[in-house]
Amino acid sequence: MVERPVVLVTGAAKRLGRAIALELAANGFDVAVHYRSSREDAQATAVDLRELGARAEVFCADLSDEAACRALASSVIEHFGRLDAVVNSASTFEHDTVASFGMAAMETHWRANTAPAVLLAQALHAHLQTVHSDPVRSGCVVNLLDQKLWNPNPDYFSYTLSKAALECATVMLAQALAPRVRVCGVAPGVTLPSGPMTQTEFVAAHRLTPLGHSSTPVDIARAVRFMIQSPAITGTTLVVDGGQHLQAQPRDVLYLAEDLKD
């Protein structure tokens, strides 16, 4: 029997991480379900993954803690006996502006949104270097970014900076870890309500694209799977946003949607 590849999905208990985990489980992957505080949601996700025929286990870690982040990869490898891919979906999204910016806010976002992806890519590379002598056998890291990077505005200042750093890290890691590990990005548009956004505001924001609709969780999950299963792609990002990045927007879509509602 062919052994299924194992993928670690951070923030897999709910929202986009859960959708990605379900898509991968349904298409031949066993899944390590990472969570920080949503234990019940993570366990429920693992149950659903097992019903799809996947091996699944939950792993708790505060990714902003370097030791805990490093231990997470080791725990996954110890449990499954292998690790083939990492999807960095977990994210901190807190509002600040240039006026309210401070080092503490920047560090909070950088430690949650940028540094863990580098550490987990490093761990995947070290694992694959150890267990596979064949350089053709490679792994993949997919980093969840944001279409805001191609359509910038100064709202959510520290969050956006942390994702910009992650996009740059995606390219640098792809260079540094080849040929053993490919590193790619997927940049969602307005996919789920976030922050203080109401459902009415989300529906309005979701329509603010050239296509008249933005991305869905299924769109993002399929894009992540495509990246993992495409051995000739590395160091680039797929923007999945209904074309939102093609039209300049002076503010975050939350505020644009509020204006449409009034």
Query: In 10 A of CB 213, how many CB atoms?
Result: 17
pLDDT mean for each 10 residues of the chain (262 residues): 89 97 98 97 98 98 97 98 97 95 97 98 96 74 96 94 98 97 96 83 86 95 98 97 88 68 52
The pTM of this model reads 0.94
Q: Which of 245, 125, 120 has its CA nearest to residue 189?
A: 245
In angstroms, the CA 142 to CA 237 distance is: 9
pLDDT value, residue 134: 62
Retrieve residue 63's tokens: 């990714």
Active site residues: 159
pLDDT value, residue 133: 61
Reduced to 3 states (helix: H, G, I; strand: E, B; else coil), residue 60 is strand
pLDDT value, residue 258: 64
Is 141 in contact with 86 (CB distance < 8 Å)?
Answer: yes
pLDDT value, residue 139: 97
The CATH superfamily holding the domain 6-193+215-242 is NAD(P)-binding Rossmann-like Domain (3.40.50.720)
pLDDT value, residue 148: 93
Retrieve residue 172's tokens: 């640098």
Domain regions of the chain by residue span: 6-193+215-242
